[in-house]
Structure 1
């Protein structure tokens, strides 16, 4: 998917957003699984009272209290998602579309996390998924070239959608 298509898809699925939480999920020591936390750190500079960005690492369930206090209307989870696509492919999923995907590498499977957050926060949840290439253990965060390109695309698309939805401070 090209950047403009991704921006348009995100903006469409986030229509009506009042407050948005972006959760970067993944294990930094498992190769391309680090993509979620790395994206969260890259966009942490964005400022808005309507926006919360959290690097959740491998335990997004630990942040439900903070999320409840923030009360987002929408949540975007950024994570490595194995769809069988070429490495670095970026896709947007609604929680109902996660049913056929493999279990995640995290303590709580992504589908269960999505269902829980939607129910607990009464929000709409999207997953910005990036197809990993390698999930082997490493001693520091490192992405494959393809996933680094996917990360860049996902970052640009997310920032573009947030801008289009007037969620960013000038």
Structure 2
């Protein structure tokens, strides 16, 4: 089976297609918005649509680093834990979506080549079981769940901004 066939049939295809679907739901919540609207905190939370796009991009990029090189690769670059959820001065929705699309394309390409059974030990963190490992498959399932959860958050935020609903 060629790499192209692996991305169009079987488990790998199901995982990639599901991740793409939820990315699409998240991306759709920003259709037609201005930068100001994308930066708007329209609910009691700190979340805004641009910040959610930025966060999901960062999370996907970090987890794919993990899938390739383990915890050390995942933690190779620092994360702005607070700033990743908001748009900061100089950021545009178009720029954030461009990075989102770039990271998504890199992930999709990697998923065509990685062995889904390859496992790495999780980073030391209070939210992970000490000494536990995740396979690439588990990483992709986590990315699907993370993206789907934030697409739901984004749908609520978008509806609060202008009444538009993307998922119902």
- Computing the radius of gyration from Cα coordinates, the structure with the larger value is 2
Kindly indicate which of the two structures has a greater share of residues assigned to strand.
1
Same fold (TM over 0.5): no
TM-score, with normalisation over the residues of structure 2?
A: 0.26
Kindly indicate which of the two structures has a greater share of residues assigned to helix.
2
TM-score, with normalisation over the residues of structure 1?
A: 0.26
